[in-house]
């Protein structure tokens, strides 16, 4: 297992190199000039422009800029500074990342809490009324766009009952209870959007496993339904479901961007949007790089989790 882990960690390096090249260069190819945006209505002489470019490190060829950026990260762990205020990217990220992480984690937990029981029930009561309702609910969760659902949750209760979800972010460290209350509604919305696919996959896999011979044997032995499902069927059925959940992490972060906007959560999504509009290259590059690392680590953890569920899986 340790050899496998070391090998996987080493494989991250070339992946990260490719990601770094992609994120660094892609933002710089978007039309729009940050210095023109900074100057706005001012007339800049060539000298002024050159001076600003120099102070921002934009006066060297782009490959040199890349080299400097990567060098700073590797040697000093420095993601650079915002072009618009010299705020270190790390500072902005350290404030935004916990918010997105909390939202993603809660959404994933809620998504699993919704999807697994319903998926299992739907499978063991196949073609019943409950199954049809569950499957319709799963399709609804997949079909309803997050931004629409979030907007409806914001607008309709305010109109009908004079109520809106909490809209002002309170850090967890300041007030854990209010923080969790604030995250509840957006996490449910995001969790629901993820749960649809997981629900259907769970149902399919449980149905497939229930048709296996070893399950027939378990029934023949007179085991209770709860034991057959939870101890024998579910463990085998969950392996592909874990893969699905792991693959949803990048979509979770993407979905979090919209939910963060609607519910006023100062997460990574908002940070990236603002930075992209401002053409704040270091912030966008740094944040996307960190997210990429996060996704790679999550995928590694997902792979390791297989071994826990399936003893046949050995990592060498």
Partner 1 sequence: MLKRKIVWLVVSVLIILSMALASCGKAEPATTATSGTTAEPATAEPQYGGTLTLLDLWHSTSADPESWDPSVYNWLNSEPLKYHMETILVGDIDNKGPRGDNTYIFDNVNGVPASVVTGHLCDTWEVVDSNTIRLHVRQGVKFQSNPKVMAQRELNADDIAFSLNKMITGPTIASRFTWIDSITAPDKSTVLVKLNKFNADWQSYLGYYYYAQIYPQEMITAGAADWHNAVGTGPFIVSDYIRGSMRTYKKNPDYWGTTTINGKKYQLPFIDELRFPVMPDVTARLAALRTGKVDINASVTWQDKASLAKTNADLTVFKAPYAGGHMINMRVDTKPFTDINVRRALNLAIDKQAIISAMLGGEGVLLNLPFTSDWPEYTPLEEYPHEVQEIFGYNPDKAKQLLADAGYPQGFETQLIISDTFMTSGLPSLVVDSWSKIGVKCELKTYDYSTFETVIFGKQQTQMIWDRTGAPTALGALFKFCITGASVGGAFLSDPIIDQAYKDASAETDPLKALALARKGNEQYVKDVPQIWLPAEYTYEFCWPWVKNWYGEISAGSFDMGVVTSRIWIDPDLKQKMGY
**Could you list the residues that contact partner 1 (CB under 8 A)?**
30-33, 35-45, 48, 51-52, 55, 82, 84-87, 92, 95-96, 127, 129, 132, 136, 151, 154-155, 157-159, 162-164, 167-169, 171, 261-267, 270-271, 273-274, 276-279
For residue 132, the Cα-to-chain-centroid distance in whole angstroms is 30
Give the residue ranges of DSSP H helices in the chain. 2-28, 34-39, 46-56, 62-76, 89-124, 129-143, 146-161, 176-210, 213-220, 225-227, 234-263, 268-277, 281-309
Least distance from partner 1 to the Cβ atom of residue 285, Å: 16
Least distance from partner 1 to the Cβ atom of residue 264, Å: 5
Nearer to partner 1, 22 or 154 (CB): 154
Cα(130)–Cα(126) distance, integer angstroms: 8
Cα(272)–Cα(256) distance, integer angstroms: 12
Least distance from partner 1 to the Cβ atom of residue 270, Å: 5
Token pair 């604030």: residue? 182
Nearer to partner 1, 113 or 181 (CB): 181
* Token couple for 230: 């939870």
Nearer to partner 1, 157 or 240 (CB): 157
Nearer to partner 1, 243 or 261 (CB): 261
Nearer to partner 1, 119 or 150 (CB): 150
Least distance from partner 1 to the Cβ atom of residue 276, Å: 8
Token pair 């749960």: residue? 195
Least distance from partner 1 to the Cβ atom of residue 166, Å: 8
Answer for the pair 79, 73: CB distance below 8 angstroms, yes or no: yes
70 burial via Cβ count (<10 Å: 0-12, 13-18, 19+)? middle
């Amino acid at each position: 297992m340790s050899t496998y882990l070391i090998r996987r960690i080493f494989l991250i390096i070339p992946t990260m190199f490719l990601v770094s090249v992609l994120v660094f260069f892609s933002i710089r190819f978007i039309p729009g000039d940050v210095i023109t945006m900074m100057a706005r209505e001012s007339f800049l002489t060539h000298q002024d422009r050159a001076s600003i470019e120099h102070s921002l490190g934009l006066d060297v060829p782009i490959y040199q800029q890349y080299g400097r950026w990567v060098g700073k990260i590797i040697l000093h762990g420095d993601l650079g500074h915002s072009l618009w205020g010299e705020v270190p990217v790390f500072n902005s990220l350290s404030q935004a990342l916990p918010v997105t992480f909390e939202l993603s984690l809660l959404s994933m937990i809620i998504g699993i809490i919704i999807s697994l029981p319903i998926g299992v029930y739907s499978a063991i009561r196949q073609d019943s009324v409950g199954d049809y309702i569950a499957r319709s609910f799963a399709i609804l969760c997949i079909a309803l766009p997050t931004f629409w659902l979030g907007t409806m949750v914001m607008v309709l209760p305010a109109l009908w009952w004079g109520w809106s979800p909490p809209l002002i972010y309170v850090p967890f460290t300041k007030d854990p209870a209010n923080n969790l209350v604030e995250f509840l509604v957006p996490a449910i919305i995001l969790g629901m959007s993820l749960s649809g696919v997981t629900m259907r996959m769970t149902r399919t896999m449980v149905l497939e496993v229930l048709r296996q011979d070893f399950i027939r044997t378990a029934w023949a032995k007179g085991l209770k339904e709860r034991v057959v499902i939870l101890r024998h069927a579910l463990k085998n059925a969950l392996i592909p479901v874990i893969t699905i959940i792991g693959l949803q992490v990048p979509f979770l972060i993407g979905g979090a961007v919209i939910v963060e906007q609607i519910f006023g959560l100062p997460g990574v999504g908002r940070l990236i949007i603002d930075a992209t509009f401002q053409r704040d290259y270091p912030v966008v590059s740094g944040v996307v790089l960190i997210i990429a690392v996060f996704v790679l680590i999550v995928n590694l953890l997902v792979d390791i989790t297989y071994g826990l569920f399936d003893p046949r899986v050995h990592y060498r």
